[in-house]
Amino acid sequence: MDHVVIDRVTKTFGAFKALDRVTLRIRKGSIHAILGENGAGKTTLMNVLYGLYQPDEGTIRIDGRPVAIHSPKDAIALGIGMIHQHFMLVSSLTVAENVVLGLGGQGPSLDLRAHARRIAELSRDFGFEVDPTAPVWRLPMGMRQRVEILKALYRDAAILILDEPTSVLAPGEIERFLVGLRRLRDGGYTILFITHKLEEVMAVADRVTVMRNGAVTAEDETAATDRRRLARLMVGREVVFELEERHGEPGAVVLEAEGLIAENDRGLRALDDLSLNLRTGEILGIAGVDGNGQSELAEVIAGLRPLQAGRIRIHGRDISNLDVRQRRTVAGIGFVPEDRQGTGLVLDYGAPENLILHAFDRKPVARLGILNFGLINRRAAELVRKYDVRLRDLRQPVRLLSGGNQQKLILAREIEAAPAILVILQPCKGLDVGAIEFVQNTLLEQRARGMATLYVSTELEHVLAVADRIAVMYRGRITGILDRGDATPERLGLLMAGSDANAA
């Protein structure tokens, strides 16, 4: 039986057609994956179902009845809950306080203890193991996601929309999350699972719909397809899953970090006497469960976070006291941040302005304080072609680009500056299979040209795909450094849990 039917829905933004007569049938008590590249229209379609956008054409039926969904409030009343990619929680409140926040009919009679007991029961029913009294800021990302799901379930949602739900989760959390999805399905819930991760679709979905350029290109039972076919339907071409080997012999040591000690934003020790080195023509992967000091390590090397102790040397020169600009211009450090929207780009600028952010006051981009816009625009057009950045117009704000195209733009800016060392955080997080292939091949090409790369990621499969060596971090320390040939997921998993290299 169809629980939800989306029938010939069209949505435009100005001249851009985000959804083009999309039809979707979702069976009751099933997991239905919606797969597609970044910018394919998946999230727009779900925002229509949740009442955040109004369709220009088309209808929606729930249990056979046509419905009008003008707002999220209407969606919730119809039993639809949406868990967004970026969580909507108040960090300073407890789990129970977040779950009941905005719940109708409370007022001065609010009995938070009674709500906490019911939330605990609901959590146990689905194996979520969430403590209702815990402050949200103390919870890991996987647990915060469970809180978001509990919020929807607590409001009697029977249809759950999950938008890229694993993009913030560590590998161990992803497996537990998928187990939780199966429990929800077996409990009779209908789940719409928006993703670009083929392995997760094959592991958990009953049915899959593929979208490209705002339209449905295919729909099939998951058991009747495979990831190679799905990838081809997503991007419109064959996708190479096994990267071509482009190994050379790493050269001399370019980066030496010795005895690094630094604090995180809460004043707690994030790096605890950490040491490592990186050679020219090498990709050193930094793996670990999120929150074990990986981001702080990258920021310390780039000059964005102060050191309490330790030394950083580039080609033997101590750069520990150089500021960010000096590390870029003198030491040759490039930096691709984890937060591409908040830190990597100025979202209201176009591609040309974002590509000159590090050189806007220097020749040949500027002379006597006057920008050479002819040169800037010509160079931007070249890089957009070279790095396959897909946009409608060179001047459009980069906030309108998909995550993959935003990442390509940042890569273009950083790599074209010819850094000796590229520090890159979570380079493939949130990207579709085509964008991941492009980013990884670009890094491998730069390695062959001698660039040294510090590749920080919580996604083990991506680290294993490109790294020559993998250093694993746990509580601010390196628990082991393995050559890629010795680095199995099992050994890495033990190191990520705190075992030393000999035990692993």
Better-scored residue on pLDDT, 218 or 365: 218
DSSP 314-339: ETTEE-TT--HHHHHHTS-EEEE-S-
pLDDT in tens, 145-172: 888 888 888 888 899 998 877 766 666 6
pLDDT in tens, 212-256: 889 999 888 999 988 888 878 777 666 655 555 555 578 899 999
Give the list of residues 6+ apart from residue 451 with CB closer than 8 angstroms, or none.
280, 281, 415, 419, 420, 421, 422
Give the list of residues 6+ apart from residue 120 with CB closer than 8 angstroms, or none.
130, 131, 132
Q: Lowest-pLDDT range, 97-106, 147-156, 417-426?
A: 97-106
**For position 2, what pLDDT does the model report?**
83
Q: Kindly tell me if the per-residue pLDDT of 299 is higher than 90.
A: yes
Q: Kindly tell me if the per-residue pLDDT of 464 is higher than 80.
A: yes
The β-bridge partners of 219 are: 209
Q: What is the 8-class DSSP label of residue 40?
A: S
Confidence of residue 390 (pLDDT cuts 50, 70, 90): confident
**For position 300, what pLDDT does the model report?**
95
Please, what is the end-to-end C-alpha distance for the chain in angstroms? 49
**Residue percentage of the chain with pLDDT more than 90:** 39
Confidence of residue 61 (pLDDT cuts 50, 70, 90): very high
Q: Lowest-pLDDT range, 95-99, 103-107, 134-138, 243-247?
A: 243-247
Better-scored residue on pLDDT, 104 or 56: 56
Alpha helix locations (H) across 187-293? Answer: 198-204, 227-235
- Amino acid occupying residue 136: V
Cα separation of 50 and 9, whole Å? 14
Q: Kindly tell me if the per-residue pLDDT of 196 is higher than 80.
A: no
Average pLDDT over residues 312-320: 94
Cα separation of 258 and 276, whole Å? 7
**For position 171, what pLDDT does the model report?**
63
Token readout for 280 is 């020219």
DSSP 132-169: TTSBGGGS-HHHHHHHHHHHHHHTT-SEEEEESTTTT-
Q: Label residue 142 left, alpha or beta by phi (over 0 means left) and psi (-120 to 50 means alpha).
A: alpha
Q: Kindly tell me if the per-residue pLDDT of 385 is higher than 60.
A: yes
Please state, rounded to an integer, the average pLDDT across all residues of the chain: 86
Better-scored residue on pLDDT, 243 or 423: 423
CB count, 10 Å around CB of 14? 5
**For position 58, what pLDDT does the model report?**
94
Average pLDDT over residues 486-492: 85
**For position 502, what pLDDT does the model report?**
55
Query: 152-170: b or e for each residue (b if 16 or more CB lie within 10 Å)?
Result: bbbbebbbbbbbbbbbbbb
**For position 401, what pLDDT does the model report?**
83
CB count, 10 Å around CB of 36? 27
- The percent of the chain in helix, strand and coil, each rounded to the nearest 5, is 35, 25, 40
Cα separation of 47 and 78, whole Å? 15
**For position 39, what pLDDT does the model report?**
73
Average pLDDT over residues 25-31: 93
**For position 434, what pLDDT does the model report?**
77
**For position 19, what pLDDT does the model report?**
92
Cα separation of 30 and 153, whole Å? 16
Q: Lowest-pLDDT range, 148-162, 335-349, 370-384, 462-476?
A: 370-384
Q: Kindly tell me if the per-residue pLDDT of 362 is higher than 80.
A: no
**For position 293, what pLDDT does the model report?**
92
Residue ranges and CATH numbers for the domains of the chain are 2-235 (3.40.50.300), 248-332+421-504 (3.40.50.300), 346-418 (no CATH)
**For position 7, what pLDDT does the model report?**
94
**For position 244, what pLDDT does the model report?**
55
CA dihedral 441, 283, 449, 332 (to 10 degrees): 120
**For position 246, what pLDDT does the model report?**
52
Better-scored residue on pLDDT, 69 or 494: 69
pLDDT in tens, 248-289: 578 899 999 999 999 998 888 999 999 999 999 999 999 988
**H or E element: which one contains 278?**
strand 269-279
Cα separation of 456 and 287, whole Å? 6
**For position 170, what pLDDT does the model report?**
63
- Are 35 and 196 a contacting pair, CB within 8 Å? yes
Cα separation of 343 and 483, whole Å? 32
This prediction has a pTM of 0.69
Cα separation of 67 and 61, whole Å? 6
CB count, 10 Å around CB of 216? 21
Confidence of residue 358 (pLDDT cuts 50, 70, 90): confident
pLDDT in tens, 333-346: 999 998 888 888 99
- Are 35 and 232 a contacting pair, CB within 8 Å? no
Cα separation of 160 and 190, whole Å? 6
